[in-house]
């Protein structure tokens, strides 16, 4: 373990179970995106903050800047929380809790500053951190037009085919079309929920969410069982924006939540993109407003990748895998070992060779893609030249 | 007459009839946009150039850089030309020939450098120079969609209602919709043709072109009776771009002529705008390509005016009329005199008061608008404050 450089512990494994458990509790105490809460967390650490919430004293003594009422609310919620029960609930749902300092923590969320999530509740077997490296958000209106749904599905599929992970909010309309597009292409997709990741919302998406939990990842800031509220929807959008390299808005009315996501993306120096539509459509009016500002007009996945791939797209290939093979998750390493030295192979054959399911193999291939080991070619996958050289060098040299 | 400052005469009244007649001939000799021809014209003057074409000698002696074949072509066309017949033909069609140096010459065409038109054949009773001051081009595909036609017509009407002159090419599709939109709003519109202005092309637009000649202006570089060719269509577009303060492309496929107009506009530092459409429509693909470059997305007339009006829109009002009343065309001055000192009046009433037709009154109101004397308010017109002050001052002071 490296020496602690900071007086304030993060919640990851290096921070000890106490700090981690405290963060589990705090997801029940502090609402997503509460920056004052984030400042106290940064100042006192998770355990330190919980200690203050159970200590006697006034708000002025314990939480600089807090009202008594606010302190009372925190105290009540902290007293009612049971982190072990929450961890048991997420485990029962096939999930886990990840927090800053964990190897799986996507460090780009740190760009949110004091609004950074306390932790992320996660379902799905793939690594969020590696997936998020090559991810793009596709968001838009719930009550979209058939044109919008078509564009979102086409973009979702096209991005997946180009090795990109599609992130959205699992809502009706554009979100669902984007997720389904990615799934239909055997691609990787992440749903960021505004409720507990074991809560099915919207209920009409029970099947879609189950499918994403199987073939992709479900993440959210809210603890198991928590329900969405209007403000949680809005604040969820900042996570979508921060997690991804760029946000594409497909259809949005003036003043819609998708525009909030796009503006978050812009503030976080992510790429902001919009798909144009008829100027006569109110559902394109918000997108056109964005496009009259700093957003870039995109009409297909190639144009999205051309933009968001600028800095990073080719870099991993050029510099080869970013992680030594030996540090891979053993199940991911098995998929890598199953790839032939020459030629490409499809996910189903690869899964058989690696002794796993197709969904599992595909998800791990997206991890390997993000790490620079493999590339997608149509429906098949092959080793990158760099991975091959490295593998040969290792085999020959050791 | 001011002293000649330049060894090379322009073709306007100050230049004498010889120079002017020579330019009439040259519109039969040099194709629109021929920059080598423009250089010789600049070097030798119109008469000087014609003299060379009738003098004995080789191309090397007479036209530096020309081939013998080119010289022979020029000579044959110059010999066959009859400027008096052409001037009689344009007069019979109710038109005139205007050229650099004329009071009616729109000086922004000089931005075309050696590709500047030799002269413009013109039909219609209004002043091209003043109309062009507040003009915007609306162009696009011939085989447009109903959506595109709707947008062009709405823009044409909206721009006319805001006192802007709508310039287009009288082609089927977007062009026609833009002209009709302007006409439908009692507005001013200019058709720039790629053929003689007495030639009806396309033939299906006989009625539209006649209406524009009556209520607006028809202009073109080609002499009476000349027919369009593919290259003439392309080169016509540079005149549309140069004449106007900005170009709006409504629908255009990849590599379409409308994109040429937009690129001309950009090169000439005019505003380039595009109306978005469905990303699934091939007819919007060219526009979207423009919008991914430097063109600005616009969805209605307000957005167009906001952009192209930036520098000039409010300026004439702020600094008042740009021309003393006494220099106005007497028929235009009569319309101005007919305006009440207080309140607004519609075109029909104004026409009656000025003793002219509604079309004539409206066209002159657009001139007066460009010159800062009047402003449009819905379907009515009123004196600007500045025009009023100036008029009062004049009445009181002299």
User: B284: which chain A residues are within 8 Å (Cβ-Cβ)?
Assistant: 276
Helix (H) or strand (E) holding B257: helix B257-267
Q: Name which of A147, A288, A303 is nearest B276 (Cβ-Cβ).
A: A288
* Best residue in A253, A288, A299, A307 for a mutation probing chain B (most B CBs within 10 Å): A299
Q: What is the pLDDT of residues A200-229, one digit of tens each?
A: 999 999 999 999 999 999 999 999 999 999
The C-alpha of A273 sits at a distance from chain B's nearest C-alpha, in angstroms, of 11
pLDDT of residue B170: 97
pLDDT in the model for residue A319: 42
Domain map (residue ranges) of chain A: 13-82, 119-312, 317-397
**Cβ pair B349, B355 in contact under 8 A:** no
Q: How far is B171 from chain A (nearest CA, A)?
A: 23
pLDDT at A378: 80
Chain A CA closest to residue B298: A292
> Bridge-partner residues for A272, per DSSP?
A247
CA B6 to chain centre: 26
Instruction: Tell whether the model's pLDDT for residue A316 goes beyond 50.
Output: no
Count other Cβ atoms within 10 Å, centred on residue B330.
6
Residue with tokens 């709508």: B166
**Cβ within 8 Å, pair B297-A285:** no
Bridge partner residues of A135 (DSSP) = A165
Q: Which fold has domain B119-312?
A: Rossmann fold (3.40.50)
Nearest residue to A332 via CA among A60, A43, A125, A117: A125
To the nearest whole angstrom, how far is the Cα of B318 from the nearest Cα of chain A? 28
Of A147, A276, A303, the CB nearest to B276: A276
Question: What is the longest distance spanned by two Cα atoms in chain A?
Answer: 68
3-state secondary structure of B272: strand
Closest CA to B87 of B161, B21, B41: B21
What is the per-residue pLDDT for A395? 54
**Which residue, among A379, A337, A341, A342, has the nearest Cα to A362 in the 3D structure?**
A379
Subunit contact A297:B297, Cβ cutoff 8 A? yes
Write down the pLDDT at residue A323: 64
The stretch A244-257 carries a mean pLDDT of 95
CA distance, residue B58 to nearest chain A CA (Å): 55
Residue-level pLDDT at B384: 86
CB contact under 8 A, B150 and A285: no
Q: B293 to chain A: which residues are within 8 Å by CB?
A: none
Q: Which of B217, B30, B1, B133 shows the shortest CA–CA distance to B12?
A: B1
- Those residues whose C-beta lies under 8 Å from the C-beta of residue B335, and which sit 6 or more positions away, are B350, B351, B354, B356, B361, B364, B365, B368
CB contact under 8 A, A279 and B276: yes
* Angle in degrees, CA A7, A9, A13, rounded to 5: 145
Higher-confidence position of A332 and B385: A332
Per-residue pLDDT tens over the stretch A62-108 = 998 899 999 999 999 999 999 999 999 999 999 999 999 898 999 99
Q: Give A-chain residues touching B275 at CB under 8 angstroms.
A: 279
Q: Which residues contact A253 (CB under 8 A, 6 or more apart)?
A: A141, A282, A283, A285, A286
- Residues B296 and B348 sit within 8 Å (Cβ to Cβ): no
Chain B, residues 254-273, CB within 8 A of chain A, namely none
The b/e string for B206-221 (b: 16+ C-beta within 10 A; e otherwise) is eebbebbbbbbbbbbb
* Whole-number Cα distances in Å, B246 to A258, B133, B240, B269: 32, 11, 9, 9
Q: How confident is residue A392, by pLDDT bands cut at 50, 70 and 90?
A: low
What does the DSSP assignment read for A249-306? E-S--TT-HHHHHHHHHHHTT-EEEE----TT-HHHHHHHHHHHTTPEE--SHHHHHH
Q: Is the pLDDT of residue A286 over 50?
A: yes
pLDDT value at position B17? 79
DSSP A71-133: HHHHHHHHHH--HHHHHHHHHHTTEEEE-TTSTT--GGGGGGGGGS-S-EEEESSS-HHHHHH
Residue B32, φ and ψ in degrees, nearest 5: -50, 135
The confidence score (pLDDT) of residue A32 equals 96
Instruction: Write the CA distances from B51 to A392, B56, B65, integer angstroms.
Output: 81, 10, 17
Residue A133 CA, chain-centre distance (Å), reads 9
Q: HEC states along B6-33?
A: CCCCCCCHHHHHHHHHHHHHHHHHCCCC
Token pair 């691609």: residue: A187
- CB proximity A291 to B under 8 Å: yes
Which of A147, A275, A297 is nearest residue B292 as measured by Cβ atoms?
A: A297
Measure CB to CB from residue B279 to each of A151, A279, A288 and give the nearest one.
Answer: A151
Helices then strands, counting H and E runs in chain B, come out as: 18, 12
Q: Find which of B140, B279, B290, B295 to mutate to test the A interface (most A CBs within 10 Å of its CB).
A: B279
CB of A352 within 8 Å of any CB in chain B?
no
- CB-based contact B299 A285, cutoff 8 Å: yes
ipTM topping 0.85: no
pLDDT in tens, chain B (398 residues): 343 334 445 655 545 678 999 999 999 999 999 999 999 999 999 999 999 999 999 998 999 889 999 999 999 999 999 999 999 999 999 999 999 989 899 999 999 999 999 999 999 999 999 999 999 999 999 999 999 999 999 999 999 999 999 999 999 999 999 999 999 999 999 999 999 999 999 999 999 999 999 999 999 999 999 999 999 999 999 999 999 999 999 999 998 989 999 999 999 999 999 999 999 999 999 999 999 998 999 999 999 999 998 554 444 444 445 567 777 888 899 999 999 988 899 989 999 999 999 888 988 998 888 888 898 888 889 998 878 776 665 554 43
CA closest to A155 among chain B residues: B279
Share of chain A above pLDDT 70, in %: 90
Contacts of A147 in chain B (CB under 8 A): 278, 280
B315-397 is a CATH 3.30.70.980 domain: no
Minimal C-alpha gap between A163 and chain B (Å): 22
**Sheet strand arrangement including B374-377:** B345-346, B380-383, B374-377
Helix (H, G, I), strand (E, B) or coil at B217: strand
B296 touches chain A (CB under 8 A): yes
Higher pLDDT, B314 or A373: A373
Yes or no: say if B95 and B69 are a contact pair by the CB < 8 Å rule. no
What's the rounded Cα separation, in Å, for the pair A248 and A251? 9
The CATH number corresponding to A317-397 among 3.40.109.10, 1.10.10.10, 3.30.1240.10, 3.40.50.10800 equals 1.10.10.10
- Cβ proximity of A229 and A253 under 8 Å: no
Three-class secondary structure of residue B298 per DSSP: coil
Q: Does A232 reach chain B within 8 Å, measured CB to CB?
A: no
- Chain B contacts of A299, Cβ < 8 Å? 279, 285, 288
Q: Does residue A303 sit at the B interface (CB-CB below 8 Å)? A: yes
Give B-chain residues touching A275 at CB under 8 angstroms. Answer: 279
Asked whether the beta carbons of residue A291 and residue B299 sit closer than 8 angstroms, the reply is no
pLDDT of residue B370: 84
Confidence of residue A369 (pLDDT cuts 50, 70, 90): confident
Query: CA–CA separation, A291 vs B297, rounded Å?
Result: 7
Residue A330 reports pLDDT greater than 70 = yes
* A299 touching B (Cβ < 8 Å): yes
A 136-165: CB under 8 A from B: 147, 150-151
List all residues 6 or more positions away from A244 whose beta carbon is below 8 Å from its beta carbon: A132, A135, A136, A137, A167, A265, A270
Query: Among B247, B38, B32, B17, which Cα is nearest to B121's?
Result: B32
Nearest-angstrom CA–CA distance, B178 and B166: 7
């Amino acid at each position: 373990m490296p020496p602690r450089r900071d007086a304030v512990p993060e919640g990851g494994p290096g921070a000890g179970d106490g700090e981690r458990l405290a963060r589990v509790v705090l997801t029940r105490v502090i609402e997503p995106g509460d920056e004052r809460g984030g400042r106290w967390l940064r100042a006192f650490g998770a355990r330190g903050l919980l200690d203050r919430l159970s200590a006697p004293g006034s708000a002025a003594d314990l939480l600089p800047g807090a009202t008594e009422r606010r302190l009372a609310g925190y105290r009540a919620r902290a007293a009612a929380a049971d982190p072990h029960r929450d961890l048991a609930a997420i485990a029962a749902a096939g999930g886990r809790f990840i927090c800053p300092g964990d190897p799986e923590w996507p460090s780009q969320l740190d760009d949110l500053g004091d609004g950074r999530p306390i932790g992320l509740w996660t379902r799905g077997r793939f690594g969020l951190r590696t997936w998020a490296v090559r991810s793009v958000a596709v968001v838009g209106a719930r009550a979209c037009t058939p044109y919008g749904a078509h564009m979102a599905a086409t973009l979702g599929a096209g991005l997946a085919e180009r090795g990109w992970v599609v992130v959205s909010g699992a809502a009706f309309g554009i979100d669902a079309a984007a997720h389904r597009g990615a799934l239909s292409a055997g691609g990787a997709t992440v749903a960021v929920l505004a409720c507990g990741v074991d809560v099915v919302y919207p209920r009409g998406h029970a099947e879609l969410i189950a499918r994403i939990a199987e073939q992709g990842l479900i993440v959210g800031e809210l603890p198991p069982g928590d329900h969405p509220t209007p403000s949680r929807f809005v604040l969820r959008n900042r996570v979508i924006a921060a997690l991804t390299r760029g946000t594409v808005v497909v259809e949005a009315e003036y003043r819609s939540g998708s525009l909030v996501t796009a503006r978050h993306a812009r503030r976080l120096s992510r790429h902001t993109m919009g798909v144009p539509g008829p100027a006569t459509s109110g559902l394109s009016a918000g997108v056109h407003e964005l496009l009259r500002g700093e957003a870039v007009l995109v009409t297909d996945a190639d144009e999205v990748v051309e933009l968001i791939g600028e800095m990073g797209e080719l870099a991993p290939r050029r510099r080869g895998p970013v992680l030594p093979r030996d540090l891979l998750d053993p199940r991911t390493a098995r998929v890598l070992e199953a790839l032939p030295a020459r030629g490409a192979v499809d996910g189903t054959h690869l899964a058989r060779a690696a002794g796993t399911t197709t969904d599992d193999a595909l998800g791990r291939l997206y991890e390997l893609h993000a790490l620079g080991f493999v590339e997608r070619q149509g429906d098949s996958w092959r080793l990158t030249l760099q991975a091959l050289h490295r593998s040969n060098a290792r085999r020959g040299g050791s």
